[in-house]
Amino acid sequence: MGLFTYSFAGGGFIIVGAWESFIASIGTTQKVSSSKAISSSTTQHSSPITKSTFSSSSSITWVAVCLVSLFFILNSLISLIDALNSKDHTGLVLQLEIIAIALLFFLYSVLGLMTHLKKSILFPSPILNLLCLFAFVEEFFLFYLQRKDPSGIENRYFDLLLVPIGVCVFSTILELKSPKPRFSRLARGIGLILQGTWIIQMGFSFYSGAMANGCSLHEKSRGNYTVKCKGHPEYHRGRAIATLQFNCHLAFLVILIVGVYSIVCEKTGIGREFSQYKPLGAEMQQLDNQAHFTLDSDDENDDVIKEEGDLEDRKALAVVPELGINGYGSH
């Protein structure tokens, strides 16, 4: 297939996934901004704008999915002709499976475009998501059951590719169940980005020098290939390098998500309300100080009251000797 084919296919996945994540992040920020709105008139004026932006963004997504699907169909047809000329039956069957998956995605995008462009033709979103789910499940089983050569290093790359495909499957199932699929679309976009970066990595690993020493690519046809190693040390080294590369892709994706999320929070003001809160320890210390002050003041007041009582008793004793003898007072 070549490095260019892998790079173009991976770039298509990255573009679709990035756009899906961007749409989901816009929906989340608009939800936060609408909840902070005070008057109801402003929210009423902003609702048709959000609907129009979501419809246009969804149409852009379906156009991108349609173009990527057409690319896979054309590439598989070229590989199919090459497999027929090379009399490679395994490569022939493999390309037929890829064409079936690409046709499902193509049907999903075409029906979505017809729903948004023509109001007379309406397909419910659960039906479209169900088509997308079938396509992802078929793609999952394609790489899960693809074992042309059990000793090939490419099987390790295919196994690691199941991780982003599984994320897409799980997020699409959540989108079928949830009425507000913002976070599920975000998860699917992240899965598509990881799938695209890993496809590009597979192209560089198979068709360049980014493979372990002692391993080389053997092609039976354009779409049927295997990566063989000289011995067991090279085989295990190649699998370890593939795992390390996938971990680097995961780390890069996490850093990218955190960076973009921080920029979005800075632009939209998400999380600024937490800065209004004060530490609980300082408030508790103030309350403790006030409590000690009131107790000390109460003790002092009690001492003052006791002293005043003693003075009154002394005055009363001092007045008693002024009385006359036998209880008669002096006039």
Q: How confident is the model at residue 3, as a pLDDT?
A: 85
Q: Which tens digits make up the pLDDT trace of 242-277?
A: 999 999 999 999 998 888 878 877 776 655 554 555
Q: How confident is the model at residue 259, as a pLDDT?
A: 85
Q: How confident is the model at residue 195, as a pLDDT?
A: 95
Residues 318 and 315: their CA atoms lie apart, in Å, by 5
Amino acid 268 reads T
To which H or E segment does residue 42 belong?
helix 40-86
Task: Output the CA angle 113-19-25, nearest 5 degrees.
Answer: 115
* Residue for token pair 């000797």: 321
Residues 25 and 6: their CA atoms lie apart, in Å, by 28
Structure tokens at 318: 């001092």
Q: How confident is the model at residue 50, as a pLDDT?
A: 43
To which H or E segment does residue 155 belong?
helix 154-177
Q: Cβ(192)–Cβ(17) under 8 Å? A: yes
Q: Which tens digits make up the pLDDT trace of 30-88?
A: 544 444 444 444 444 444 444 444 444 577 888 999 999 999 999 999 999 999 998 88
The 3-class secondary structure across 227-289, one letter per residue, is EEECCHHHHHHHHHHHHHHHHHHHHHHHHHHHHHHHHHHHHHCCCHHHHHCCCHHHHHHHHHH
Q: Which residues of the chain have pLDDT under 50?
A: 31-56, 274, 293, 295, 304, 318-331
Residues 274 and 293: their CA atoms lie apart, in Å, by 32
